[in-house]
Amino acid sequence: MKTTISVYCAPALIQPNSQASNMVQNNTRTIAIILLSICAALTSACNGGNIGAAAWSQFHADSQNQGFIGINSSPAVAPLWKRKVGPVAHSSPVIAADGTVHLGTTDGKLVIVNPDGTIKCTVDLSTGVILSTPAIASNGNIYIVSIREVDSDSYLSTLHNVTSGCESRWSYTFPDVNDVIRGYTSASPKVMESNRGTHIFLPVRLSRQRDSADNDDYEDGLNELFVFDDSGSVIDRRTIGGCVHVSGGGSDISGLLSDIWDIISDFPNGTAVIGDAFGPLYEQFGWLDPTPALVDLSTITQPERPLIIVADNCIGLRMTGFHWRLDLAAPQLNRIWTYDDDSNKRYYSSPAVFNNGLLVIGREDGMILGFDPETGTKLWNQNVGEAVMATPASFGRQIFLNSLHRLHVLETNGEFADVPVVSTYLSGGQTIASPAVSANFVYYGTTTGLRTRSFDFFTRANDSDATGGVSSPAISPEGIVYNVIIEDGSGYLMAYPARAQPQVP
């Protein structure tokens, strides 16, 4: 017998114009949050509402970068276990169907950890460093990107495929034609599966050697979106744009990655540290390339409508929407819209597409932009006052996002949400990591600990020993929270139980 449960998620409550008492407003707000939380939990339990990832298997949870899983969890206070995994910068944990946890290290290794905290395997990819987050397909295949410095001001990336049995299956090094054109990226790969098979999407920046006597002088060429099939063949590649507005001419990739390379060199010596005394985290660890967002807009009447949204890291945002044409004999990318930002800003978060039909991206100056993902039309903007490197997260109504020092809550119209408090990090902590949202809590790592907040902000918990803020938390389908910290010059993976009690009221 098949049981169907229908769940109705109420729209945002309209605040009355009359001067109602604060108690009535607070009660109304609390009831609305409780109803939304119950709705999220019930819908996810049915697994028919498609409001969140079934597994946290890619960067920021799923192919859409929603940062949400519809599972009840508990405050992250006392870890179940803590496992040393090696030097980690930016790469965030993802979770396979068998419960194993995957992440990359800056010494070029893919580390797979069992649910009990033991190391299943370490795969040495031997092609530079890993900064981005792995992606896992439903069959267990793992896709991960490494990047290495070829010579001064020149970098080269490789996409690797590793099986669930820890065996290297194939790799693809981006164009290196007679040492003239080289491709590099610090974005994370994204996986989309359909009846046409498994496809992997990755944006790549191609650097071209200048026609000059200085053979070590490189400039940015085109940014391209590559699509691979599961055998490692390039199915399609399309131009996103070029860094034609970079001030001073040429590429600033050395400036973009030099800070990361400095941190990497500190790890083997056991001197890697994290903290506010060393300046903003994005100056310490660098600013990664945006990861694409993949969203399936298919309906019964309009099938085969996957949408791929990708942004570049040039001065002035260029964000492009591609239709992934699975209805054709040979699938291909068709550009359907391009948004060009006339700002002089260079660094952006990754785009996130939420199930309420909203596309959101953050900017280095604190501007948050909301778009229609189907048309690329800008709907609103909001300024949170400081840099937003982290990708926003949402369960469909409120949007949670981290700026350098604060957690912010926005409504889907871009207005600040009416919550009792906007959380300020304790002890001057910072973060460039993205928040992770379950059906009842928000988690975010900082340089002064891992924080847990309920949607009404009345329940709060802190693990002040979990010093991080660079790698983003992940939540398993069982409600276990995983987080990476930096301690004693190395990275540690920590697991928090699915059922725990708040420590800090």
In a domain, 504, yes or no: no
- Higher-scoring residue by pLDDT: 438, 342: 438
In a domain, 59, yes or no: yes
Tell which phi-psi region holds residue 489, choosing left (phi > 0), alpha (psi between -120 and 50) or beta: left
Tell me the mean pLDDT in the region 103-110: 95
> 250-254, 284-288, 428-432: which range is least confident on average?
250-254
Degrees, nearest 5: CA angle 487-462-434: 70
- What's the total number of domains in the chain? 1
In a domain, 8, yes or no: no
Q: What pLDDT shows up at residue 153?
A: 65
298-306's contacts with Cβ under 8 Å and 24+ in sequence apart are 303/327, 306/192, 306/194
Q: What pLDDT shows up at residue 215?
A: 43
Q: What pLDDT shows up at residue 30?
A: 40
User: What is the SS3 assignment for 178?
Assistant: coil
In the chain, the percentage of residues whose pLDDT exceeds 90 is 54
- pLDDT bin (cut points 50, 70, 90) of residue 402 is very high
CA distances from 478 to 56, 305, 500 (A): 11, 31, 13
Tell me the mean pLDDT in the region 494-499: 94
Q: What pLDDT shows up at residue 422?
A: 57
In a domain, 13, yes or no: no
Closest CA to 246 of 285, 306, 205, 292: 205
Write the CATH number for 118: 2.130.10.10
- Higher-scoring residue by pLDDT: 113, 363: 113
Helix (H), strand (E), coil (C) string for 89-101: CCCCCEECCCCCE
- Higher-scoring residue by pLDDT: 344, 98: 98
Tell which phi-psi region holds residue 465, choosing left (phi > 0), alpha (psi between -120 and 50) or beta: alpha
pLDDT, mean over the chain: 80
User: DSSP class of residue 504?
Assistant: B
Q: What pLDDT shows up at residue 297?
A: 83
* Residue 487: both structure tokens together: 């301690």
In a domain, 317, yes or no: yes
Q: What pLDDT shows up at residue 264?
A: 55
Rounded CA-CA distance 299/374 in Å is 14
Indicate if the pLDDT at residue 94 is higher than 60: yes
In a domain, 6, yes or no: no
- Other CB atoms within a 10 A radius of the CB of residue 499 amount to 10
Kindly report, residue by residue over 136-175, the tens digit of the pLDDT. 999 999 999 999 888 766 788 999 999 999 999 999 999 7
Tell me the mean pLDDT in the region 16-22: 38
Q: What pLDDT shows up at residue 258?
A: 55
Q: What pLDDT shows up at residue 180?
A: 66
- Higher-scoring residue by pLDDT: 183, 473: 473
Closest CA to 308 of 388, 196, 199, 437: 199
Q: What pLDDT shows up at residue 179?
A: 62
| Domain residue limits at 161 | 22-496
- pLDDT bin (cut points 50, 70, 90) of residue 183 is confident
Indicate if the pLDDT at residue 65 is higher than 90: yes
- pLDDT bin (cut points 50, 70, 90) of residue 211 is very low
Q: For the stretch 10-49, what's the b/e string if a residue is b when 16 or more beta carbons lie within 10 angstroms of its beta carbon?
A: eeeeeeeeeeeeeeeeeeebeebbeebbebbbbbbeeeeb
Q: What pLDDT shows up at residue 262?
A: 57
* Residue 149: both structure tokens together: 């410095």
Most confident of 8-22, 303-317, 386-400: 386-400
Indicate if the pLDDT at residue 4 is higher than 50: no
CB 426 within 8 A of CB 449: yes
